[in-house]
Amino acid sequence: MTTSAHSDHLAKVTSLLKSGQAAQVRELIDWLKIPSISTDPEYAKACRDAAQWASDHLGASGFQSSLRETGSKDSPGHPIVLAHAPGAPDYKGPHILFYGHYDVQPADPLELWNSPPFTPKLVDDPSGKDGPPRIIARGAVDDKGQVMMFLSAMRAWKEASGLAAGGVKMTVLLEGEEESGSVHLDSFIDANKAELGACKVCVISDTGMLDRGKPAITYGVRGLAYTEVILHGANQDLHSGMWGGKSPNPISELVKVLAQLWDKDRRITIPGFYDRVRPIAQSERDEWNKLGINPSEALKKIGFPPDANVGESGYSFTEREWARPTAELNGIHGGYTGKGAKTVIPSHASAKVSFRLVADQDPVEITKAFFKWCNDHTPPGCRWELIDHHGGNPATVKTDSPELAAAARAIERACGTRPALIKTGGSIPVAGSLKSKLGLETIFMGFGLDDDRVHSPNEKFELECLRMGTMSHAYLVDELLRM
């Protein structure tokens, strides 16, 4: 194919995408209506339907696509959509793996949604008086909306060029368990190394921009170690009058232990916790300082005053998210939690304790060190039940690869502005798995916004972000064809 043929195709692609945005939104709404909540077995059929929907879309864009089963009888899994575009005979660029996920988080608490989570609401007032035009639904941005950008770009390239992925050699993997721990993904990758191993680089659209109108490429994600700790006391609930002050109260004891996870500088006190943490290079620090991130503005958006800018001593707001590990209590429970008063000392109390990790921390090592720390802090007369809910590796990818440069050029051509190089505090464990199992680097090319309410009620995706992302994926094909 000649460069002029590319140009002709690209012109047609961008024209198709511009004229087709309303149709694209209608398609996305159809997909969002399917409640593909992976963590709840009741929605297994919906997960399969959402997978089939995506597979059909890819099929119609010329991909050889099918649902691939995961799991076993004892551990049932949701299907993975796996699709291939063979690449044009003269394609010389890298074999691309596109990864996304079709499953979504549970929608509860339902009462906080202003419209039903699986009845997508389109707010499309061009005047923007009601706020930026957007789609509101569970999964709007995480990750169906972001996968839709890719699907639409692929559809346009097929229509313009007649070829799947416009002639780029590409494999697509859409997972159905990202929101429930990706429990079957690693074994799927292991079992399909031959089919996946030819890929050279992975593209994932499940991250965010720096801000509205400011696209970004994310080059680092944090890892995760997620645990649950249960502290057991007496073999029965006790009357707090008869027993208060006489023997350990598991809630009070748990609280006293967990409070020691941080020192007064908000550093984590587990021995060895920071041993493998890569220091922040001065050059990175300088680049991040130039990004103009305003902590007070960011905090204000979620209802915090400026003095809520607290975290590990010696690091900035951005550094603490992008380059420093943290320990979080994601849940705590014990005793009576209904209305009013009950004077009980419960037999046990529990907490969900997770750690966000940075390169080169190892979630297995960290969990082990935390459990040892718990055992070293066992309150008198009590015993621990320690549960490992697993997690994922942190990933920091090369910023000087030709593929990342191609992605940056694609975004700049699509959006009219150079993408910032940023990191995120979130975790995308698949990147770590792809790196360790297949040697693949990942380019995170995402178009979400900080206030998209990911995992929360009233999740949204703004149409301008959808547009920028769709165009960027379309230009990425053009950039890959030129390589």
Least Cβ distance, residue 88 to a copy of itself (angstroms): 38
Please identify, using beta-carbon distances, which residue of 55 and 105 lies nearer to a copy of itself: 105
Tell me the two tokens of residue 111: 């009462």
By C-alpha distance, which of 217, 209, 205, 179 is closest to 97? 205
Tell me the two tokens of residue 29: 């709404």
Q: Is the dihedral of CA 399, 401, 403, 405 positive or negative?
A: positive
DSSP state letters, 75-92: SB-PPEEEEEE---TT--
Please identify, using beta-carbon distances, which residue of 1 and 344 lies nearer to a copy of itself: 344
Query: Residue 153's Cα: distance from chain center in Å?
Result: 21
What secondary structure, in 3-state letters, does 365-411 show? HHHHHHHHHHHHCCCCCCEEEEEEEEEECCEECCCCCHHHHHHHHHH
- Helix axis angle for 44-60 and 21-32, nearest 10°, is 150
Least Cβ distance, residue 386 to a copy of itself (angstroms): 14
φ, ψ dihedrals at 257, nearest 5°: -70, -50
What's the angle, vertex CA 235, arms to CA 233 and CA 239, rounded to 5?
Answer: 80
Please identify, using beta-carbon distances, which residue of 330 and 375 lies nearer to a copy of itself: 330
Contacts of 150 (CB under 8 A, 6+ apart): 98, 100, 203, 205, 473
Please identify, using beta-carbon distances, which residue of 168 and 349 lies nearer to a copy of itself: 349
Q: How many CB atoms lie within 10 A of CB 241?
A: 9
Please identify, using beta-carbon distances, which residue of 324 and 473 lies nearer to a copy of itself: 324
Least Cβ distance, residue 455 to a copy of itself (angstroms): 5
Distance CA 207, CA 147 (A): 11
Please identify, using beta-carbon distances, which residue of 132 and 311 lies nearer to a copy of itself: 311
Least Cβ distance, residue 104 to a copy of itself (angstroms): 13
Please identify, using beta-carbon distances, which residue of 122 and 317 lies nearer to a copy of itself: 317
Least Cβ distance, residue 60 to a copy of itself (angstroms): 33
Least Cβ distance, residue 132 to a copy of itself (angstroms): 18
Please identify, using beta-carbon distances, which residue of 65 and 180 lies nearer to a copy of itself: 180
Please identify, using beta-carbon distances, which residue of 267 and 467 lies nearer to a copy of itself: 267
- Helix axis angle for 21-32 and 144-161, nearest 10°, is 140
Element (H, E) at 260: none
Least Cβ distance, residue 234 to a copy of itself (angstroms): 4
Task: Mark residue 467 as left, alpha or beta (left: phi above 0; alpha: psi -120 to 50; beta: remaining).
Answer: alpha
Least Cβ distance, residue 376 to a copy of itself (angstroms): 16
Least Cβ distance, residue 297 to a copy of itself (angstroms): 13
